[in-house]
Structure formats: C-alpha cells, structure tokens
Amino acid sequence: MIVDLVKLEGLNNRFEFSISADGLDFETENVRLKSDIAVSCEIIRNIPKTDVTGTISVAAEIDCTRCLIPIEQLIAFSFEATYVPSEELLREGEAELDTADLDVDVLDGNELDMREVVREQILLNLPDQIFCDDECKGLCQKCGANLNLIDCSCEETEIDPRWAALKKLT
Ligand SMILES: [Zn+2]
Ligand SMILES: [Zn+2]
C-alpha cells in the first residue's frame, strides 16, 4: 500500500487497513507472522516532515529465547514515526544531521510505502527475549536436549567447578 503524500497535504488522514504478512522480511528466523497485519494510523503532513502515528497488531509465533519452542504471541503496539525527504536532509546540511533525532526516517520522493513502514515498526517492537515459561530450563549446552522435556545426564557427568563449589556450601 503506497500513500501519495502530495494528495494528503494540509489534511489529517486516518487509515484503517490490513496487509498480508507474506514476503515481509524480519531478518530473523525466530519470528513467524500468523495473520494479516491490522493497521490503524494517521498520516499528517507537516512539511517538510510527515508524521505517522497509529497502532499495529498481528498474531505471531516467536521461538522461546532459551529452548526455541514456538510460542504464540499477539504483537500489538502503538507507534510514532517521522519521515523526512532525503533532499531536505541534504539541504539542512551536516550540522543538522548530527542532531537529527534517531526516530526520523528518510523518505525518497513523495510516496510512503506503508508495507515498509509496518515492517520497520514490527521489527522495532519485537520482544528482545521471550520465554515459554519463567522457569524455562533451555537447551543443554552439550547435547542440545530440551531440558524442560528430558533430563539428559550431561550435567552429572561433568559439573562446572563453580557449581561444585556451591554444592559444597549447601
Ligand atoms: Zn523455553
Ligand atoms: Zn545434555
């Protein structure tokens, strides 16, 4: 979905739409989107800037950070993004660029590709870590077994010296 910003000038514009998650690349194998992405947003032209605020929600499957088991998770968040045309950044010069706030994205031309906006926002809002359970034991460092499911005997055969010291205390 491409929004022609010239047509928006001077207006406040609300958009409600959903886009397919097919083909959106999140640069990680650990996240899979399971539904269309629902977007509600407002695009406001404050020339030269364009402000986009809204909410995004999508059903996803994310692998547990420790044991890699897939966890169903609703990714839902609100966002704010600001776009500035690349010509504008050049004109403002390097002094401005140094202080440019990091939330500003560069826009080429007068078209805002909402798929790219949404992809970027989801990427920014993915959890850094997610656990199937607070007590998730993760995978055995030696044999790769899921320690929530089976008790491999690697630990018994080779106890980390630091743990051995702790054991003596108890
Ligand atoms: Zn886990
Ligand atoms: Zn093991």
pLDDT band at 46; cut points 50, 70, 90: confident
Percent residues over pLDDT 70 in the chain: 79
Name the most confidently modeled range: 2-6, 100-104, 158-162. Answer: 2-6
Pairing type for strands 37-46 and 12-19 reads: antiparallel
pLDDT score for 140: 94
Nearest-ligand number for the alpha carbon of 138 = 1
pLDDT score for 17: 94
Distance CA 29, CA 63 (A): 9
Sketch the domain layout of the chain as residue ranges. Answer: 2-133, 137-170
- Which residues make Cβ contacts (< 8 Å) with residue 153, sequence separation at least 6? none
Residue 60 CA to ligand 1 centre (angstroms): 16
Report CA-CA distances (Å) from 61 to 26, 70, 120, 133.
13, 6, 18, 15
Cβ–Cβ < 8 Å for 23, 115: no
DSSP state of 109: T
Phi-psi region of 31 (alpha: psi -120 to 50; beta: other; left: phi over 0): beta
Distance CA 34, CA 16 (A): 19
pLDDT tens track for 79-127: 999 998 877 766 665 545 544 555 678 888 888 999 999 999 999 999 9
* Token digits of residue 73: 């998770």
User: Average per-residue pLDDT in the chain?
Assistant: 85
Distance CA 31, CA 105 (A): 24
Give me the phi and psi of 161, to 5 degrees please: -55, -30
Nearest-ligand number for the alpha carbon of 71 = 1
pLDDT tens track for 51-73: 999 999 999 999 999 999 999 99
The mean-pLDDT minimum among 27-31, 35-39, 91-95, 159-163 falls in 91-95
Residue 134 CA to ligand 2 centre (angstroms): 21
pLDDT score for 98: 45
pLDDT score for 99: 43
Nearest-ligand number for the alpha carbon of 147 = 2
pLDDT score for 168: 63
Residue 127 CA to ligand 2 centre (angstroms): 28
- Which residues make Cβ contacts (< 8 Å) with residue 161, sequence separation at least 6? none
